[in-house]
Amino acid sequence: MSLREDFLWGGATAANQYEGGYDQDGKGLNAIDVMTNGSHTTPRQVTWKKADGQTGTTPLVWGKPFAFPKDAIPTILDDYYYPSHTGTDFYHHLEDLGLLAEMGFKCYRFSINWSRIFPNGDDEQVNQAGLAFYDRVVDTCLRLGMEPLVTLSHYETPLSLVIRYNGWSDRKMIPIFEKYAKTLFNHFKGRVKYWLTFNEINAMDHAPYMGGGLLDTSAQNRAQGAHNQFVASALAVKAAHEIDPNMQVGQMLACSAIYTYTCDPKDALKVMEAQQNELFYADVQTGGRYPEYRLKKYAREGIVLEDCSEDYELIAKYPADFLSFSCYGSHVVTTHENTAQAEGNLGMNGVKNPYLETNAWGWTIDPYCLRLTLNTLWDRYHKPLWIVENGLGWSDELTPDGKVHDDYRINYLKANLKSMKDAVEIDGVDLLGYTMWSAIDLVSNGTGEMKKRYGFVYVDRDDRGNGSLKRYKKDSFDWYKQVIATNGENLD
């Protein structure tokens, strides 16, 4: 069995990293618009101001507590650089879609910036200029033969909702999101078939400010925020099916292979616990029920959800139609504390794997991670899967003649696509598509820098927002074009 004939090859972006135009045509601010740039060694900061005029910043580090000062209001301050404000300026470069079509993309995954549709998140009236922009995006995709895969909330909680409600910790967010989702489902009926609700919904545990707009990130608030997003997602599935039975609404999960560092049984138990923490979100949103291990955990920690019986009825009746996920590598866990700590994405959960290489940011390069992850998810849920993020961040160099020789990215993708194909051809996994992260260079979410590049297309932009914004095709551009043309049969 090979990849399906209608396999959806493509690439992905996120509005807060790519779009720019942060204050144009009526758009309001979102949570990321008050986050500064950073680097591999310096975390991004959320800037804030108090009523007495005091200003400051709070670092945001994945997996570490976010201590936002009491009575501080996140806001834009002078003398800081906010990379989301310009991204790589897709707002004024819709011709980028032509480059994606030139590669043969069958699908383009992008996010809608919630505050471009409702500037405060819960406005009575929709911002028509915002809808008009996404009309142009969707209609251009369809004209060029690319299926839109649209994320409703990709770390883009409107800042007004962050300030007024502590983001998703408040149940008031559920009907607000439902209205937002229904607005888009009705508007794009017949044009957009595939939707995702929350990008990497399990970021509520690792980065609750990004994932849920939480300023108070206590364990109680994170649990409540996750629950509220589960209910909102179920309501989105219900609404989509009622508005257009052809619509499909999927989950998006950050997921990776997890290994034991030793054969110590305690390490095996630690892997089990790490996997439970990762898959809990899919157990609910895709599986349709709260697993007992999580309920026991809440009981031990004294967490009591503000809920009602209807919540669980909705979650059970309207689970995700498919399960999409991001996977960049793997991580290793151990009970042996004297081992070297890993760096990079989710490195706080593990230690360095002596059998794998890493990139300059400490992310593991694992040629087997996709097959392992696909099988884990398929065996557990038996719902169609979709790889919506997988890629390699690197400090690409533009040559004087306008070339980018990214053989390292091609080699990474060759190994990962081989792993993906093995899951389908050998193991029988039902896989809908693959959208590489990212289709084109954009701002790194984790570090807020441009130096860490992912795309098939180089954008002339530096870590301080300088540059011509001119686009250059990398070597991987033509390589991926060949992969798509042969439906993955030719990876050389």
Known catalytic residue: 5?
no
DSSP 450: S
Chain centre distance of CA 374: 17
CA distance 56 to 69: 9
Type and span of the H or E element at 60: strand 55-60
Question: Rg of the Cα trace of the chain?
Answer: 21
What is the secondary structure of 125-193 as a DSSP string? S--HHHHHHHHHHHHHHHHTT-EEEEEEESS--BHHHHHHH-GGGSTTHHHHHHHHHHHHHHHTTTT--
Known catalytic residue: 389?
yes
From residue 73, give the alpha-carbon distance in Å to each of 28, 35, 61, 119, 220. Answer: 16, 13, 19, 17, 21
Helices 219-243 and 309-317, packing angle to 10 deg: 50
- Quick one: which of 318, 89, 283 has its CA closest to 181? 318
- Provide φ and ψ at 272, rounded to 5°: -55, -45
From residue 131, give the alpha-carbon distance in Å to each of 117, 136, 356. Answer: 6, 9, 45
CA distance 417 to 432: 14
- Quick one: which of 59, 55, 37 has its CA closest to 46? 59
From residue 466, give the alpha-carbon distance in Å to each of 38, 88, 449. Answer: 15, 10, 12
| Residue from 389, 425, 449, 489 carrying the catalytic annotation | 389
Using a 10 angstrom Cβ sphere, with 0-12 exposed, 13-18 middle and 19 or more buried, the burial of residue 155 is buried
Assigned token pair, 481: 């074009």
| Residue from 200, 273, 310, 449 carrying the catalytic annotation | 200
User: C-alpha dihedral over 213, 152, 254, 148, to 10 degrees?
Assistant: -160
Helices 407-425 and 369-381, packing angle to 10 deg: 30
- Percent helix, strand and coil across the chain, each to the nearest 5: 40, 20, 45
CA distance 212 to 201: 9
Using a 10 angstrom Cβ sphere, with 0-12 exposed, 13-18 middle and 19 or more buried, the burial of residue 271 is middle
3-state secondary structure 70-94: CCCEECCCCCCCCHHHCCCCHHHCC
CA distance 40 to 344: 8
Catalytic positions, please?
Answer: 200, 389
